[in-house]
């Protein structure tokens, strides 16, 4: 029988909870969009409904730190899992546009609670020489869950309830497992530091110290949302078949899965900033090349694989870099800001990408992805020049 109070067991539960969150999001995006499309919902309203998840994440972000400090990691994690499971069960019971919008918004809140508690818990509890590796595993498992989620849409043939029910039951299992964890709090030697950084000053201080790491999570939000939301439209308008698109797009995910853990471990050894400088520059070169090779499916597949290997783990690397740049007392705030930056990127990416597809011919759409990557490269470069860019091995 596993030791339920051991760090290994705790990491397994945290990573497993993140996997379930990825499955839930990966299933909801296509499944609800398909069901709304079958109901004759206009495309614009369909897309607005999908944005409810990110709206929920942003709405609750400013209020997450105090409950975490007061109640600890376990209650926040458990509440996130419970809220997600409950909302999933309600989807097939209420087949209505605005109710589904509300449920997606609530799932966004639950998702934020789950990820916030899991990420900060991993950051606080991981040794400095394994923090990058642990967070890269976190990103890898979430990506696998997100990739597996759409497969559950096939269960609709047996009834709309089944995909929602199965994911809700798995969420309930991890909810029960989370209740068995020994609770902990984001406190320690930095309590005095935390008292010095009060209220809005905490956010100002975190922004001043970790702005380049926040650029990384913002850029990943743009990349993920633009590729998934805009590239299929771009490809169809350029004569690509649906089968071709289905082969090109996963290449980015495959690339990210190949290098997720190696890049995380490499960051532990040579410094996160050095890795970020390299991958963002290579990613910028890759997506810039896509501008000129946009009409070749084979070239795009190779570019997507290459850029996925470079920047597919940018979110977890950015999160880890933020934790390197901040004192422990500001890690919860840094996590909130990193999640908010990702959500802003996820909402801005498809909007700007859609405008570029409308206004420009050729492959200029890929400039939407290359530009924030290059800005992230410049941010990491200049933060290195002004200092505070290397990991604090003592955690302070």
pLDDT tens-place string over residues 242-292: 678 778 888 888 898 889 889 888 988 888 899 999 999 999 999 999 999
Quick check: 79 and 112 in contact, CB under 8 A?
no
Answer with the residue of higher pLDDT: 211 or 41. Answer: 211
Backbone angles phi, psi at 186, to 5 degrees: -80, 65
Q: Which residues of 280-315 are buried (b: 16+ CB within 10 A; e: fewer)?
A: bbbbbbbbbbbbeebeebeebbbbbbbbbbbbbbbb
pLDDT in tens, 205-225: 888 888 888 999 999 988 988
Query: Residue 4 — very low, low, confident or very high, per pLDDT cuts 50/70/90?
Result: low
pLDDT of residue 185: 84
Q: Which two structure tokens, joined as six digits, stand for 82?
A: 């419970």
CA distance 314 to 243: 28
pLDDT of residue 284: 96
Please choose, from the candidates 319, 274, 343, the residue with its C-alpha nearest in 3D space to the C-alpha of residue 123: 319
pLDDT of residue 198: 57
CA distance 100 to 281: 40
Say which residues have a Cβ less than 8 Å from residue 63's Cβ, sequence separation at least 6: none
Q: What domains are there in the chain, each with its CATH number? A: 7-186 (1.20.1250.20), 200-384 (1.20.1250.20)
Say which residues have a Cβ less than 8 Å from residue 318's Cβ, sequence separation at least 6: 213, 214, 215, 216, 217, 219, 220, 276, 338
Collapsed DSSP state (helix, strand, coil) of residue 111: helix
Say which residues have a Cβ less than 8 Å from residue 51's Cβ, sequence separation at least 6: 347
Mean pLDDT across the chain: 84
CA distance 340 to 92: 30
């Amino acid at each position: 029988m596993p030791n339920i109070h051991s760090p290994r067991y705790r990491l397994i539960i945290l990573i497993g909870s993140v996997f379930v969150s990825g499955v839930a999001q990966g299933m909801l995006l296509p499944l609800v969009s398909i069901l709304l499309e079958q109901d004759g919902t206009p495309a614009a309203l369909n897309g607005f409904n999908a944005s409810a998840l990110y709206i929920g994440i942003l709405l609750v972000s400013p209020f997450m730190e105090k409950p975490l400090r007061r109640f600890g990691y376990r209650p926040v994690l458990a509440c996130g899992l419970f809220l997600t499971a409950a909302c999933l069960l309600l989807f097939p019971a209420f087949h209505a546009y605005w109710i589904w919008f509300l449920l997606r918004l609530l799932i966004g809140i639950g998702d934020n609670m789950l990820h916030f508690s899991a990420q900060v818990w991993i950051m606080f509890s991981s040794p400095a020489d394994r923090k990058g590796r642990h967070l890269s595993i976190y990103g890898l498992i979430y990506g696998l869950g997100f990739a597996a989620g759409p497969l559950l849409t096939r269960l609709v043939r047996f009834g709309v309830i089944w995909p929602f029910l199965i994911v809700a039951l798995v969420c309930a299992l991890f909810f029960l497992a989370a209740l068995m964890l020994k609770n902990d709090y984001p406190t320690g030697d930095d309590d005095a530091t935390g008292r010095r950084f009060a209220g809005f000053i905490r956010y100002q201080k975190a922004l001043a110290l970790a702005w380049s790491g926040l650029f990384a999570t913002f850029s990943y939000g743009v990349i993920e949302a633009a590729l998934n939301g805009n590239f299929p439209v771009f490809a169809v308008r350029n004569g690509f078949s649906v089968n071709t698109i289905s082969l090109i797009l996963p290449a980015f995910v495959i690339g990210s899965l190949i290098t997720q853990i190696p890049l995380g471990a490499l960051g532990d050894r040579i410094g996160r900033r050095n890795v970020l400088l390299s991958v963002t520059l290579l990613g910028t070169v890759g997506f810039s090349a896509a501008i000129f090779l946009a009409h070749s499916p084979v070239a795009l597949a190779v570019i997507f694989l290459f850029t996925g290997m470079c920047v597919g783990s940018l979110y977890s690397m950015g999160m880890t870099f933020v934790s390197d740049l901040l004192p422990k007392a500001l890690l919860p705030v840094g996590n909130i800001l990193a999640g908010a930056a990702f959500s802003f990127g996820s909402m801005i990416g498809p909007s700007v990408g859609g405008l570029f597809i409308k206004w420009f011919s050729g492959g200029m759409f890929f400039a939407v992805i290359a530009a924030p990557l290059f800005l992230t490269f410049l941010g990491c470069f200049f933060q290195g020049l002004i200092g505070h860019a290397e990991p604090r091995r003592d955690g302070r």
